[in-house]
Chains A and B, each alone.
Chain A
Amino acid sequence: MTGQRLSKMAVCVAVISKENYPLYIQTIPTEDDLKFHYTVHTSLDVVEEKINNVGKTTNDLRELYLGLLYPTEDYKVYGYVTNTKIKFVVVVESSNTALRDNEIRTMFRKLHNAYTDMVCNPFYTPGDRITSRVFEKVVNGMMLQDS
């Protein structure tokens, strides 16, 4: 709810399948969107690591939010893993100070809800690329340019 009102939000939203292939990647219009793809790709290692660590250290599976995966010069990468091991990766600009941890959590919740609704569509086969307009609409709502 609150996230929608933020002036600046994610610059890249990615949904990664359980097998670590991309289901959906949406970036703000940019010339080098491959950069975001690369960023997301590299973040998967961190995600994997965090998942494993979580499994070892605590059995608390309730926390799906992985927090800040790693910061780069220009961006911060946040991760989120569903119970079905679907990874959500959100890239935000480092300069965006309005996005605090709480807002990121909200964004991931929204993303998770949208994904859940999308999966409820019986015509979507889990593992297929996501083409749902509804889902895309939600993601676009979280993107920088739409906010």
Chain B
Amino acid sequence: MEGLTLSEAEQKLYSELFGTCDVDHTGRVSGTRASELFLASQLPHDTLQQITELCGATRLGHFGRSQFYIALKLIAAVQNGLPVRLDSLNTGGDMPLPRFVHIKGTEQDKKRMQFANAGVSHHMSMEADHYTSPDKPHHPILERQTTHPGVLPPPPSSRGHVRSGSSGNPPHILHSRQHVVSEAASNNLPLQATATSPQDSYSSSPYNTSPPTTSPPSQRRSTDRHHSGPAATAAATAKRSLFDNRMEVQWTGQYGAAAQAAGVNTADGWVEFSSSPASQPRSLGPGPGGAPTDSEDESDPWTITQEQRDYYTAQFKTMQPDLHGLIQGTTAREFFQRSKLPIAQLSRIWDMSDVNQDGALSLEEFFAAFHLVVARRNGYDLPETLPQALMPKSTQPATEEDPFAGAPPMAGGGTPPVPATAPQTQAAPQPAPQAPPQPAPQAPPQPTPQAAPQAPPQPTQQPTQQPTGAQGGSKSADENWATFDENSSSPSPVVQSPANFDFAAVHPDPASKIIQPVPVRMSPEGQTYSDYRPRTFSEPIPTDVVNLRRERSGTSPSKHPKSGDTAEFTPGKIAPPPPSSRSKSAKSSAEEEMENGVPPHKKLTQTVSDTIRMRPRLAEKLSRPRSYSGTSVGVHHPPPLAISPLAQSDSPTESQSGGKKEAPLLPPPPPRPPPRRQQTHSRSVSLDLNRVFLHRDSKGKHPAPQPLAPPPAVPPRHVSPATKGPKVVQQNSEQAMPISPTPKTTPNNVVNFITAEAAVPAEGLKHSRTMSLDSKAGSAFRTKWTFRRSVSFQPEVPLATDTPPTPPPRPHDQTRDKAEDTPVEPPTKPVKKKAPTPPPVRPRNRHRSGEDSQKSELRQEEPSTNDRRRHVSAPATRVPPIPPPPVRRKREDIQAAIRAHKERNTVLSRTNSELQGDLAEATEERVTLELQLQKLKPFGVTGL
């Protein structure tokens, strides 16, 4: 119609659909035939009627081409959560193609169903791909195409082809975006790690593409599409006839989303869901995008993804158009009862979600309730208390980390009591029990088929997971736990794989590069370092920093030369950082690096560290932060090591001095402690300046101090983890590596890109400017600026060194001398090096202690994405992050206090009302008495 702009893909699809529906070639489509097609969109009848009315078909009595197109576009808009208005047609070019679920006339086996579902649902496809074989994923596609003809008489086949073709590229993008988002949000890096081969991702991508999404617009849309679209299409193919009830359809979508959200056991859950749909109308088939859910799963099953949020919001709007309004209990009851969950469980969910106990649900409360219902439907046990991630008003985006950090139960608020660790633990145990049962009933048939085709791939993932679980998931008492940990941490195979796939698909080149590093990682630390270094952004500054750390740690000289080479390369890409983290092998090290603010590391750390972090974080987060605060030196040391490799690349000489002394593994731990001390000093002064000075000092001095100070506290621990952990981690990281690079390269990975890009172009200037604050991040790019500053700061160095070196006095003297020398001599090289070096050193000691706590806080507080950015970006972010944790805690406290005060208020108000009542009575009595008195007085007076 007027102003109706259609993309090529849309025009193609629409014209094909029109052609298929216009059997008589009269240019008209009868209402019945059109409704037949529209019903395949799984939209509610009411919505379809509205659409039919809006497009003008109701007046004409039939669908002309324009009406038909408008209707299709409206369906697409509604499927993406837009209101049923003509305005929705022009919201942007991102509008995905409408999704129609075709009823498969002939579905041979559940296997096919599963495959189809898998293809539809990203999770499925991703999993399948991961598991191994591109072949399997392909099969689903083939099946789809073949099956399509079944339901919709004419168009199906063509539709399927069109969709697959049109969506080919976009889906990748979407996936990549989703992955990126998820990663950013939940630090999903581990997941990426699981995905070892970019090829898998490619193979998976086609599946993903199956949904008709031509445009990779907003992530939300993509996610939405994934939820309802791809999944729906896949499920629809299998079960389409089942979707008679709108609600059911919605529920199916929700369930799918929930499953994704729950996402813990992606394969099992999915299978179950897919199978369930066949038997039940509400089949989980339409599960939302696997990628997002994966991310959620990884991070926290209770974290609501953006796509889920959008879906929930859309559902909320169906009952309460005003997002600020409330859904009355009766309405909500009716709605949630459609989930077919037992009333007792719904009641529990309500008790948890209706935080203010007002018998109605606000939007956020609805999110929590819906999410819990979906999670329960997907086999998750209900938490004892409302998960932190679902707490209204509390930043929902905040990932699991927040709960952990802020988890400390609030005294006042009954709702927030979830302990910091509780969310993870709860989530883990819950999924385990539920997951098994669900699969058993519905899934059994599907699982078997899946297992056969996917079996090969799964094993691969499992091994990876196992190591990860063993490393990070110490808690994994139950298998479920392990899976949870993996998922949450990132190791989870299923989730990770999709992310990896996406990335790989999106950015083949980066992935390839990344892949290469992986082998390096596999090899001893030195090799990995070298590879990573070049890739890593490791700008001169970061490298310098790393070198300093390495020197302190005494990493191997061989690495240093490599690092130097890499340093040259570093400017090019971000990838290198991961190796460093890998080399560090210690999960904590990666995190520490992040904290230290090494920008280049950020990427690496993000990918590798994320994987590592996730595990360690879950299990170790609490311990590490604490350890940092308490015995920070020992624990912290490992991270510096990881960093050190990078640094070594820049300054071989320095690194050699440091690295030669200690073995590759051992050296790292020791260096960190010294830096901390320095960091602390730096903090006292100015972060950047201090760090720089410290670094200089550390460079010179560190070698000596490192051996002295570090070994005592943590060295042994770090060493063991570094040696063992690094290897395992390296493997994981290697696997992850491809992913991480891909995200960076992929446009979708906004976060990563931002960080990387910022680091490269902007970071240089910005960091240099913010040197003081962002010593870590800026170190890489600060080069020139840092030089100037470093020179100016040099005088300060001695001071800083004096304070920090307390433990190793001798080294300090040497370091001081060296530091002084280095600043003067190396102006060209040293400049960068100096800048980076200082940050690491100071950060290590004081900063780390502070940073660690800060980091932990940040992690907890902020979603994974934010954390990554912050960590990667620079100290500046670190500094600010510290406040956030308190903020969250404060929020909880405040909420609790508010509740307590409210209670008190009510009590006081009641007493007040009572007292006022008494007062009123008393006043009445007084008035009456006065009146009586007045009556009596006259007599008295007269009498007198």
Contact = CB atoms under 8 A, between A and B. Distances in A.
Interface in A123-140: 123-124, 131-134, 137
Interface residues of A, number: 17
B904 A124 contact: no
Among A113, A121, A132, find the residue whose CB has the most chain B CB atoms closer than 10 A: A121
Given A109-B910, A120-B357, A1 B330 contact: no
Interface in B348-367: 348, 350-351, 354, 357-359
B685 to A, nearest CB: 48
Contacts of B452: none
A124 B917 CA distance: 34
A48 interface: no
B351 A134 contact: yes
Interface in B308-340: 328-330, 332-333, 336
B343 A123 contact: yes
A137 B414 CA distance: 10
Contacts of A137: 414
Given A1-B907, A131-B344, A134-B414, A122 B350 contact: yes
A101 interface: no
B347 interface: yes
Contact of B348 (A62, A109, A120, A133): A133
Contacts of A106: 907
A84 to B, nearest CB: 15
B53 interface: no
Nearest to B349: A123
Contacts of B350: 121-123
A117 interface: yes
Contact of A132 (B330, B332, B347, B917): B347
Contacts of B328: 122
Contacts of A1: 903-904, 907
A115 B903 CA distance: 15
B428 interface: no
Contacts of A121: 329, 347, 350-351, 354, 359
Contacts, number: 45
A131 B903 CA distance: 23
B346 interface: yes
Interface string A85-129: 000000000000000000000100100010001101111100000
Given A109-B910, A133-B348, A133-B351, A122 B359 contact: yes
Given A134-B351, A137-B414, A120 B907 contact: no
B910 A123 contact: no
A140 to B, nearest CB: 13
Contacts of A109: 907, 910
B362 to A, nearest CB: 14
Contacts of B346: 123
Contacts of A117: 357
Given A1-B907, A109-B910, A133-B351, A120 B344 contact: no
A137 B351 CA distance: 12
A62 B907 CA distance: 16
A120 B347 contact: no
Contacts of A124: 347
A145 to B, nearest CB: 20
A123 to B, nearest CB: 4
A113 B356 CA distance: 12
Contacts of B904: 1
Among B328, B330, B354, find the residue whose CB has the most chain A CB atoms closer than 10 A: B354
B280 to A, nearest CB: 22
B907 to A, nearest CB: 6
Contacts of A113: 906
Given A1-B907, A109-B910, A131-B344, A122 B351 contact: no
A132 B354 CA distance: 13
A129 to B, nearest CB: 11
A123 B347 contact: yes
Contact of B330 (A62, A118, A122, A131): A122
B222 to A, nearest CB: 35
Among A122, A124, A133, A137, find the residue whose CB has the most chain B CB atoms closer than 10 A: A122
A137 B906 CA distance: 20
B910 A120 contact: no
A135 B330 CA distance: 20
A120 B906 CA distance: 18
Interface of B: 328-330, 332-333, 336, 343-344, 346-348, 350-351, 354, 357-359, 414, 903-904, 906-907, 910, 917
Top 10 closest A-B pairs, CB basis?
A: A122-B329, A120-B359, A122-B333, A123-B347, A117-B357, A123-B346, A121-B350, A134-B351, A123-B343, A123-B350
14 contacts: A113-B906, A120-B329, A120-B357, A121-B350, A121-B351, A122-B329, A122-B330, A122-B332, A122-B333, A123-B336, A123-B346, A123-B347, A134-B357, A137-B414
